[in-house]
Chains A and B, each alone.
Chain A
Amino acid sequence: MRIQGRELASNTMQAAGIFSMCWKLIQDDVMDEEDAELFKEIDSWFAEELPFPDPCLRKENVICFFKTENSDLMMRMIKPAMWLLSRYNHPFYVVYTNTPGEIVYEDDYQVAVRVDFVPQVVEFHHQWTNPDGSVTPPA
Chain B
Amino acid sequence: MTYEMNRQDDALIISVSGRLDTNTAPELQEVLDEALDDVSELTFDLDDLEYISSAGLRLLLVAQKRMTKQGSMRVCNAGEAVSEVFEMSGFDGILTLE
Chain A residues near B (Cβ < 8 Å): 33-35, 37-38, 41-42, 45, 75-77, 79-80, 82-84
Say yes or no: B54 contacts A77, CB within 8 Å: no
Say yes or no: B93 contacts A34, CB within 8 Å: no
Chain B residues near A (Cβ < 8 Å): 21-22, 53-55, 57-58, 61-62, 65, 88-91, 93-94
Given A34-B53, A80-B57, answer yes or no on A41-B62 (Cβ-Cβ < 8 Å).
yes
Q: How many residue pairs, one in A and one in B, have C-beta atoms under 8 Å apart?
A: 43
Secondary structure type dominating chain B contacts: helix
Taken together as a complex, chains A and B put the C-alpha atoms of A52 and B90 apart, in Å, by 24
Smallest CB-CB A-B distances: 7 pairs: A79-B90, A76-B93, A34-B55, A38-B58, A38-B54, A34-B22, A34-B54
Taken together as a complex, chains A and B put the C-alpha atoms of A33 and B93 apart, in Å, by 24
Say yes or no: B94 contacts A80, CB within 8 Å: yes
How far in angstroms is the closest Cβ of chain A from B6?
Answer: 27
Say yes or no: A77 contacts B88, CB within 8 Å: no
Say yes or no: A41 contacts B93, CB within 8 Å: no
Say yes or no: A83 contacts B90, CB within 8 Å: yes
Taken together as a complex, chains A and B put the C-alpha atoms of A37 and B54 apart, in Å, by 8
| Residues in chain B near residue A79, CB distance under 8 A | 89-90, 93-94
Interchain Cβ contacts under 8 Å between A and B, 22 examples? A33-B22, A34-B21, A34-B22, A34-B53, A34-B55, A35-B54, A37-B58, A38-B55, A38-B58, A38-B61, A41-B61, A41-B65, A42-B61, A45-B61, A45-B65, A75-B93, A76-B90, A77-B94, A79-B89, A80-B90, A80-B91, A82-B90
